[in-house]
Amino acid sequence: MNNETLLKNLRNVPDFPIKGIQFKDVSTLFKDAECLRIMVEELYEIYKDKGITKVVGIESRGFVVGAALAFRLGAGFVMCRKPGKLPAETRKATYMKEYGKDTIEIHTDAITENDVVLLHDDLLATGGSMKAAYNLVKEFNPKKVYINFIIELTIEGLNGRAVFDDDTEITTLIKI
């Protein structure tokens, strides 16, 4: 899709969080009302007829558009968070990301077998955090799971899509 307004407003931060990483800062898209509207509406058009019952946002940038999209779709919103942030019983998964190791958790009562789930996060790089979230969600045996990112990095050596099965439906709004 590569909407010009989104591309124009996306900030690049060199050497963050460590030297050599070119961080794509989506906060500039969130603070701009038109960019936020564009993202939610473009995603709504993609998913409006998929029967989504739950949108799972990955901490923390996945919460912003994920919650807005859940509202627009008439779906529930589920948070996938770092350890110790969710107050009730959780399931967890540990994964490697491009600059370290991390763990995410989801409430054990967050999803049912009757749900159609959309997993949402801001950025696909190596795919580690989303793959961990995907595996957690699949443990609930939902009817269907879709995956979405605002940005997909297509830089040689990252290939985040490769960690998912070929039949996993993944969409992105911006490819860089």
Strands (DSSP E) found in 19-160: 22-25, 54-58, 76-80, 90-97, 100-107, 116-124, 144-152
Catalytic residue set: 61, 98
CB 10 within 8 A of CB 150: no
Q: Which of 27, 66, 30, 32 is nearest to 47 (CA)?
A: 66
* Neighbour-count burial for 120-158, b at 16+ CB within 10 Å, e otherwise: bbbbbbbbbbbbbbbebbeebebeebbbbbbbbbeeeee
